[in-house]
Amino acid sequence: MLALPALTVTKVTVGNSTVILDIRYTRQLLRCPCGWSTRAVHSRSTRRWRHLDCFGMKTVLQGEIRRLSCRACGRVVTEEIPWARTRARHTIAFEQLVAWWTQRSDRTTVATALRVQWKSVTAIISRVVAEQLTDARFDGLTRLGVDEISHAKGHRFLTVVVDQTSGATLWVGEGKNAATLGTFYELLGPERCERIEAVSMDMAYAYPAATRKATNATICWDPFHVVMHLNKAVTATIRWSKLTKTGLPLSGDEARDLRRALLKKPSDHTDTQAAVLKRHQRSHHAIWRAQQLKERFRGLYQLDNPTHATAYLERWLASACRSQIRPMVKVSQLVRDHKEGIIASVELGLSNSRLEGTNSKIRLLNHRGYGHHSANTFIPIIYLACAGITTRLPWEPKPIVTSPRPTA
């Protein structure tokens, strides 16, 4: 019934909604987690492991566990047993069940349903993630995406690194400065850093500094953040045109409709917003010209042939400078300073769209758990849900991996 290898049940005790099974390990050979084995026993102790429930009652395995003096490690360690992980007080089958539920629900619900402590769920998730999240996920990386996300009040941020090819979350660190991202590149190693071709990010200063220091990758500025600066410039044009008394008189409702229309795609305009824009189009007003410059810049990311991006951007910069609209002239200088990264994002087709999707999932995980006390308890949850870790129920069969048949 237990379906656990290399043990026999010597006694069964039932009481207080708990079944205690006294077990005996049948293998005489002691094995260290490093792989070294011996028959010499250093000491013995009794330990308990929580197992899957039986007939609605908590099932606990109680047995003797041995310690050995490992010659390879040079220290005294506890023997490796097949039904539980090292230093765990739950069987592997029970931890699989906890991990499967935690991917789909919050930890409080899992702890209540499975009758374990909240801290135990956190420890189980950390062990499952540490076992499955190996350094092999860093092999073959060529394109990355980096972004930050707030996980708690008080300007507490996490740095998230995503593989642009697979969309899996590679690494999550506490903070959003250059040192935080530098920790990831140190973990990656010099050889794998040299293979990175491009990294997409927003237009902050911390992440580019760490990326240029550790790699020779091309930095691609995220189109959303670039257009965001253009939208701010268009909004600033409304205030600028009023201050210089070159604008048209705007009522409160008209100003609101105009501001909303300026930040939308032309295909998303309502009839009222389209009418307001048409009024400014007839007058060829500065606000209208600023909006047209912004829409022409958005056309940079819609080119049929990305190789024309450089010439297209140069023409746009010339038009923005000739417009004599102070906010647009100012933002054109920002675009000129980041011209290489903008063109690279167009030519390589890179953006932070995958990261925005990952960030939405991270926010959902945070709201689902009603917040988290610290980043150390939240990061394993992110890995479990976003790093491509596959969990299965204990009674599900293991997937059969077949090697491809050799061809002649």
Token couple for 242: 């009023």
- For 12, residues 6+ apart whose C-beta sits below 8 A from its C-beta are 19, 20, 21, 22
Interval 20-74: pLDDT, tens: 999 998 888 888 888 888 888 889 999 999 999 988 899 999 999 999 998 888 8
Is 80 exceeded by the pLDDT of residue 258? no
Query: Which amino acid, one-letter code, is at 57?
Result: M
Query: Which pLDDT band, with edges at 50, 70 and 90, does 10 fall under?
Result: very high
Cα 351 to Cα 32, 169, 221, 267, 289: the distances in Å are 47, 15, 7, 23, 27
Is 80 exceeded by the pLDDT of residue 402? no
Structural contact between residues 14 and 57, judged by C-beta atoms closer than 8 angstroms: yes
- The rounded distance, in Å, linking the Cα atoms of 228 and 334 is 12
CB atoms within 10 A of CB 258: 22
What number is the average pLDDT over the span 302-328? 93
What number is the average pLDDT over the span 243-247? 47
List the single range of 12-26, 175-189, 282-296, 321-335 with lowest mean pLDDT: 282-296
pLDDT at 28: 84
What number is the average pLDDT over the span 320-340? 93
Rounded to 10°, the helix 223-243/286-298 angle is 170
- For 147, residues 6+ apart whose C-beta sits below 8 A from its C-beta are 159, 160, 162, 201, 202, 352, 355, 356, 359
Interval 214-223: pLDDT, tens: 999 999 999 9
Structural contact between residues 48 and 64, judged by C-beta atoms closer than 8 angstroms: no
Query: Which pLDDT band, with edges at 50, 70 and 90, does 408 fall under?
Result: very low
Cα 186 to Cα 179, 211, 317, 326: the distances in Å are 10, 11, 38, 43
